[in-house]
Structure 1
Amino acid sequence: MLVVTTESVPGYEVEEVLGHAFGVIVRSRGIGGNLAAGLRSLVGGEIHEYTEMLEDARKDAVDRLVKNAHQMGADAVVMMRFDSSEIGQTMSEIVAYGTAVRLRRVSGA
């Protein structure tokens, strides 16, 4: 499935808009990760434990977005975006969302 952050896809036109699609994931930082990150934050710099967790969460959110769009009968998601928030002090919510569409190849493209 094609997932783009743009409103249109070169060589295609939107044949049908199916609605909004999304993928949500909530991740908790474990106590080990919190301790390592806490110690690293004392000296400054990137906190690799959190960076890796958020990268994985974004990938999982996109996978869920694709699954949701596929269930809607879409072959693409346009205008894909991410949103994130904190739940309490130990959990992060990542949402990938966009518009599920069916595309048609433009003749001559």
Structure 2
Amino acid sequence: MPPQESGTSQGKMTHSALAPVEHVTAIVAPGGTGHTRRKHGTSWSDLTSQQQMRIRIGAAVQFLLASAAWFDLARRPARLVRGKKSVWALIIGVNFVGPIAYFVRGRR
């Protein structure tokens, strides 16, 4: 691909960010696609159905706890909340710890 001209009337480039690349060679392992993906841990499909179910249950519990805490915080008058309601709204978003902390320490 030729370098793009920067709009001068003589067709010359006034600046160049990078030199054009003429040819790139990719190294592909036998049987590979040329795409590399670094694996950082286990993918969902590598988990057993029991492990997947435990994660789903944990996520549902977290969602229900956070929802209940946010609902309670929204309906509770500020005088019945220890500290600022806006701060508690952020704390509730912290997995498991936030909603439990709100129910234990945030309400009067």
Does TM-score exceed 0.5, indicating one fold? Answer: no
Greater share of strand: 1
Larger relative contact order (Cα-Cα within 8 Å, sequence gap ≥ 6)? 1
1 or 2, which has the higher helix percentage?
2
Larger-Rg structure: 2
The two structures have a TM-score, normalised by structure 1, of: 0.28
The two structures have a TM-score, normalised by structure 2, of 0.29
